[in-house]
Structure 1
Amino acid sequence: MLQGSPREKSNTNALLTPFIQGLEERGHCCQTILLREKDLRLCTACRACQRDWTIFGCVQEDDVQAIIDSVLSCDLLVLASPIYAWYCTFPMKAVLGRLCHQRKTQ
């Protein structure tokens, strides 16, 4: 689960807690990534990720690559973010922007 709230004791967290408990009660393993604690940079549109479609990655050295690796290994992805000014928060926007520029071939 990508949790995009900038606040530790947020409504987003309050909603995720019973959701996670329900999944875990049914035997699922859950991982929550608190985006507010990560070093996240916006996509710079350098297109380095598009030079070689056989690899999956970004040239920026921040925490997004580890997040992308977690996303690729999961069976279900939950995006949890409050909506500020008609859009998700900066941490979620940063990850989604970088995730959308990636492509993995199998």
Structure 2
Amino acid sequence: MSKKILILSGSPREEGNSDVLCEQFKQGAQEAGHKVEKIFINDKKIHACVACYACRGNGTCAFKDDMAEILEKMVQADVIVLASPVYFYSINGQIKILIDRTVARYTEIRNKELYYIITAADTSIPMMQRSIECFRGFADCLGGSQEKGIVYGVGAWNKGEIQKTKAMQEAFEMGRRA
């Protein structure tokens, strides 16, 4: 059965390491017959949440930016892929701002299959768990959602270094199995 897959690439660089893994996931998922859309968050205008709660009751944020469209796609997706480079053992600002802005409609983002992609210069998987816990904290707020897989793109500092790692094949295969 074909699924709607939404990939949210938090990479600050197009064709950066985490973005490359998003493309690999996308290719695998498309090969499996799924409908896939990748959003490169850095190209979008997304204001940081200021906790004004104008969204309470109607789900409409006070800021008129690209987040409303992204939120609708998150609500409609069957599968959501969250991807981020690791900065100081946490997710980066681009993906964190997006997560925070889901407050307007997060209760509608339910029953999703969730995949996580992270990249880092460090090679220690246990150290990467800190970043994954950021994604898991968000997932805990999405009723009925399930973590389905993680790609650890470790050992890649400079742009393009990820292409020499096993994470490339892992991301492709995970997309195929989504």
Counterpart selection for 1:27 from 33, 50, 54: 33
Paired position in structure 2 for 1:69: 72
Please tell me the residue identity of whatever aligns with 2:31: E
Q: Does 1:18 align with 2:24?
A: yes
- Taking the aligned partners of 2:55 and 2:80, their CA distance within structure 1 comes to 22
Residue identity over aligned pairs, in percent, reads 34
Task: Count residues with an aligned counterpart.
Answer: 101
**TM-score, length-normalised on structure 2?**
0.54
Deviation, 1:28, is 0.1
Higher RCO by CA contacts (8 Å cutoff, separation 6 or greater): 1
Deviation, 1:85, is 1.8
Which is worse superposed, 32-41 or 11-20? Answer: 11-20
Gaps in structure 1 of 5+ consecutive residues:
none
- Taking the aligned partners of 2:38 and 2:60, their CA distance within structure 1 comes to 21
SS in 2 for 1:2: strand
Which is worse superposed, 69-78 or 9-18? Answer: 9-18
Please tell me the residue identity of whatever aligns with 2:14: E
Deviation, 1:22, is 1.1
Paired position in structure 2 for 1:88: 91
Counterpart selection for 2:46 from 24, 40, 48: 40
SS in 1 for 2:30: helix
Please tell me the residue identity of whatever aligns with 2:68: Q
Rg: which structure is higher?
2
**TM-score, length-normalised on structure 1?**
0.87
- Taking the aligned partners of 2:53 and 2:31, their CA distance within structure 1 comes to 42
- Taking the aligned partners of 1:100 and 1:77, their CA distance within structure 2 comes to 16
String of CA shifts for 1:1-55, please: whole Å, max 9, x gaps: 10000011211122122211111111001000010001111110001111x1xx3
Gaps in structure 2 of 5+ consecutive residues:
1-6, 109-178
Deviation, 1:94, is 0.8
Higher percent of residues as strand: 2
